[in-house]
Amino acid sequence: MDKFIEKISYIVSTKFKENGYDKQYGKVNVSNRPDLCQFQCNGALAAAKKYGKAPRNIAEEVVESLNSLNTFEEISIAGPGFINIKVKDEILVKYVNDMAKDKKCGCSNAENPMSIVVDYGGANVAKPLHVGHLRSAIIGESIKRTAKFLGHNVIGDVHLGDWGLQIGMVITEVKRRQPGLPYFDESFTGEYPKEAPFTIDELEDIYPKASKLAKSDENAMLEAREATVELQQGRRGYRALWQHILNVSVADLKKNYSSLNVFFDLWKGESDAQEFIPDMVKYLKDNGYTKESEGALVVDVEEETDKAPIPPFLVLKSDGASLYGTTDLATIVQRVQDYNPDEIIYLADKRQSLHFNQLFRCAKKTHIFDKDKTLDYIGFGTMNGKDGKPFKTREGGVMRLHDLIEIIKSAVRDKIVANNSVEADKVEDTARIVGLAALKYGDLSNQATKDYIFDIDRFAAFEGNTGPYILYTVVRIKSILSKVNPTGEEIIIKPYSDVERDLMLKLTKFNEVIEASYAERAPHKICEYIYDVSNIFNRFYNSNKIVSEEDKEKQSSWVAMITLVKRVIEQCLDLLGIEVPEKM
């Protein structure tokens, strides 16, 4: 379906054109004074400069033409030439009822569906997920879901860190603990054990111990670096041990990401790009894109318009070793070969902006990625404690994501028990759903690029702009619908009061909000929208007795309207990766 506001804009634009003005001046916006009108057109003021006429005179001409239509309830001119508009209920009624009949509530598939890769997750194997992984995972998941909902072909890739120095550290620490394992015997030619020589709990103890030792002991660091090189050169035992690390880690990561309602289509890592590096480096050299700088191989990516220096993209170090950036560039080569995407979207901490700027420039300058296609980087802010610093445990360490989830789930559980509205055997699962909603909505309702304060009390509240408040609105609608018997007849949704009219107007913005959320990579716009919808619905709910309403025609209209409200909010929540419980 066309957007409701575009339908209004088209009508107004046509009348501008009929009166001799460019139709661009007929653009309509939602009024910021809903007490005066629903929509407003300010084009007469802009047109006045071009056509040398008083804006009010232009507005009068256009309004006279609009009054000949049977579309608007009221059109007036305010101030120097603002056109204030109220649409007739028939227009609103038709649009909202068409939404109710549509499977996607009026949101159309993209006219030109794209192939899109979303690179999010970014976890390192052998390490547990911590709070720093939260934003990448849930923002990326929302963007992926929204793109799919709009009809694009979307592939989500976890892009694991599985090939760096941390693997060498783990290998050497395992060797110190269990030197007799066959992985360390270079003369061993048999089959390596199928079972890993460690559990996930043991693995999560191994890495921090190894990292701490390597930072304080030069020999330990040297051993870790040597093990990393030998692994990457194909040492058989180390490859087998690395595969165990990968298997154990990925199984645990899948469980943890799943608990967040985050799912990836691809579980590839840095290691998968390694085979593409030699040919890529040869291509860059053969085509004259590289030069030597202090022994290293680089690609200049600075542009004449740069206001500050942009360092060259480092392809290989002076010793010929590849780097994190090399792997990222090779991953683009791999993705082009495997999926030929129109867009690749990256989620990472905003402090990595320089890296992605260099990477994208290099990929396009060297024609590894088509200049007409999109490489996009969403640099997100940090989750901070009330002290304004990155959120940590009471002991000052980085908090595990699992522990964070448990903290907010516990806070929500107490409220659910106090409400006494959920059966005892369903309290835990309800606390899980509502707790995750509190956590994810608390994050996603903030603009992705900004830092925010993690406030458990505020996020877990059942009132205000919170996940639990949105869920409670849906649960309230479910409860109403369970008490009303539908007639089975086709019902026309129509307004019987201003609050219903406000709710219907807000519903018409659904497709507009979803498209804008994807285009701007802004899940917070979906959060703002469902908060507004929930507030208007609750105003309506508090003003009317839906279940006991004696006027059956009115009651049926109300039921059809709140059913659509429920569908719209639930769809938005699904795009945010948030579940809805049956009761709260």
249 is a domain residue:
yes
74 is a domain residue:
yes
State phi, psi for 160 to the nearest 5 degrees.
-70, 145
Is residue 316 within 8 A of residue 325, CB to CB? The reply is no
Alpha helices for 193-302 (secondary structure H): 200-216, 218-232, 236-259, 277-286
Paired strand residues for 400:
130
Q: Which helix (H) or strand (E) holds 434?
A: helix 427-444
Q: What is the pLDDT of residues 102-117, one digit of tens each?
A: 999 999 999 999 999 9
Domain end: 87, 105, 122, which one? 87
581 is a domain residue:
no
Question: Residue 487: is its pLDDT beyond 70?
Answer: no
| DSSP secondary structure of 388-433 | SSB-B-TTSSBPBHHHHHHHHHHHHHHHHHHHT-S-GGGHHHHHHH
75 is a domain residue:
yes
450 is a domain residue:
no
CATH of residue 68:
3.30.1360.70
CA-to-CA distance for 237 and 181, rounded, in angstroms? 10
Copy the structure tokens of residue 438: 């509190």
Question: Residue 488: is its pLDDT beyond 80?
Answer: no
198 is a domain residue:
yes
218 is a domain residue:
yes
**Nearest by Cα to 47 from 16, 68, 84:** 16
94 is a domain residue:
no
Q: What is the pLDDT of residues 230-264, one digit of tens each?
A: 998 999 999 999 999 999 999 999 999 999 999 99
Range of the domain at 60: 4-87
Residue 303's CB: how many other CB atoms inside 10 A?
A: 9
For the chain, what is the domain count?
2
CA-to-CA distance for 331 and 275, rounded, in angstroms? 10
Q: What is the pLDDT of residues 60-98, one digit of tens each?
A: 999 999 999 989 999 999 999 999 999 999 999 999 999
Residues above pLDDT 70, as percent of the chain: 99
Domain end: 52, 87, 122, which one? 87
Is residue 379 within 8 A of residue 352, CB to CB? The reply is yes
Domain end: 87, 115, 138, which one? 87
The pTM of the full predicted model, rounded to 2 decimals, is: 0.94
